[in-house]
Every structure is written in structure tokens, then in C-alpha cells.
Amino acid sequence: MANCVVTLKIMPESPDIDLNLLQAEIKDKVKDFGCEVGKVDVVPVAFGLKSLNIMFVMDENRGTTDALEADLAKIPGVNSVECTDVRRAIG
């Protein structure tokens, strides 16, 4: 099967959350899921709140990211986790 490029949008609970610490914990959870983070974008949302958009490559045979999303939602300081994009990697 093919590989997929997945993008998850992680919203912190408040603008006061340290995004660097949050990003490190998220990368660890993604690695435990069997994937490597390729890119992290910090995207301004509103009133100082910023989301983390995490892109990683996942084997299509793994199925869904539901288990990973549930795991990430348990991290202290995370308000929500949403899969915003899944694409098949070419090449």
C-alpha cells in the first residue's frame, strides 16, 4: 500500500500554554504511534491563541488516526485535536 501525509490541528487550552513543550510531547506521541513528524506550523487563530498544525507520514495500512488523536487529546494543555487533511504520498 501507499503512504499518507496527515495533518492534525491541535488547539491549546489557552494562549498561555507553552507551545514548545506541547510540540515536544506531541512529537513523542506521534513517534510512539510509529510515524515521524515532518513539519510543524504555528498558526495564529485569534486573541493571541495559536494552533499547532502537525504534518507526518503514515502507512496507509494503519487505517485511521483516531487512536493517535485520542492520545494527543489527553496531553495536559490540549483543548482539541482534529485531522484536517489526509493525502496519499506520491513517489
Contact criterion met (CB below 8 Å) for 11 and 78? yes
Burial status of residue 2 (CB atoms within 10 A of its CB: 0-12, 13-18, 19 or more): exposed
Look up the pTM and report it.
0.90
pLDDT per position as a tens digit, 13-42: 999 999 999 999 999 999 999 998 999 999
Q: Residue 45 belongs to a domain with what CATH number?
A: 3.30.70.60
Count of structural domains within the chain: 1
| Residue range of the domain that includes 11 | 3-88
pLDDT per position as a tens digit, 40-60: 999 999 999 999 999 999 998
